[in-house]
Amino acid sequence: MIVVLAVGLALGIQAFVVKPYQIPSVSMEPTLDVGQRVLVNRISHKFGSDPQIGDILVFHPPEGAVDGNRCGVEKQQGEVCSMPTPEEATDDNFIKRVVAGPGDTLKVVDGEPIVNGEKPDEPFIRPCRGLGGCDFPKEVTIPPDHYFMMGDNRGSSDDSRYWGPVPRDWIIGEAFATYWPPDRIGLF
């Protein structure tokens, strides 16, 4: 009976409170390496705490993000995708950093977001270095209840630049700690 209760409690915590995730790609380097494991708080954004610029979130991407970087609207030359496809890819989980929120204006210059006319301090990123997706000089406005997500490895990240901002309802939670490998254990 105790074992059944312990397993039930562990599954309940993972399903509703804190869930572990493994980093699948280089898109968040140097902050998070491939294979590194993080813990994600699944309840903070469900109870009124809005994601903030700089938060690292796990979320379901829009349909088409995995198989072709489809945008939900017709993009103009030099413009990031301003709206995702309406369908959520519930079988996929992505992890990226919030760079702009609802109502913010955004353009991308040399892989760095310019939000509301200001370049944020991002000492943690790996620059674009002239690779594709570095420059989107046409400004867009992030829709209500959407968050624009970018990987820290700006030249090697498929992110909101291509498939649009993420609706709040598709956010699973905020990564708050790493627990593997042992030499990278810590809080964000």
- Strand segments, DSSP code E, in the chain are 18-22, 37-41, 56-59, 94-100, 105-109, 112-115, 136-141, 146-150, 166-167, 171-180, 186-187
Cα(188)–Cα(178) distance, rounded to whole angstroms? Answer: 8
CB 32 within 8 Å of CB 178: yes
**Residue 30: cis peptide before it, omega within 30 degrees of 0:** yes
| Average pLDDT of the residues of the chain | 89
Given 75, 96, 107, 157, the catalytic residue: 96
CA distances from 41 to 46, 55, 58, 99, 163 (A): 10, 12, 9, 19, 25
Cα(164)–Cα(70) distance, rounded to whole angstroms? Answer: 9
Which residues on neighbouring strands pair with residue 112, listed in sequence order?
109
Q: Which fold does the domain 2-187 belong to in CATH?
A: Umud Fragment, subunit A (2.10.109)
Residue 147, pLDDT > 90, answer yes
Span 69-97, average pLDDT: 92
Given 27, 82, 157, 160, the catalytic residue: 27
46-63: per-residue pLDDT in tens? 666 899 999 999 999 999
Tell me, yes or no, if 75 is annotated catalytic.
no
- Structure pTM? 0.89
Span 23-43, average pLDDT: 94
Q: At 188, is the pLDDT very low, low, confident or very high (cuts 50, 70, 90)?
A: confident
Tell me, yes or no, if 27 is annotated catalytic.
yes
102-138: per-residue pLDDT in tens? 999 999 998 899 999 999 999 989 888 766 678 999 9
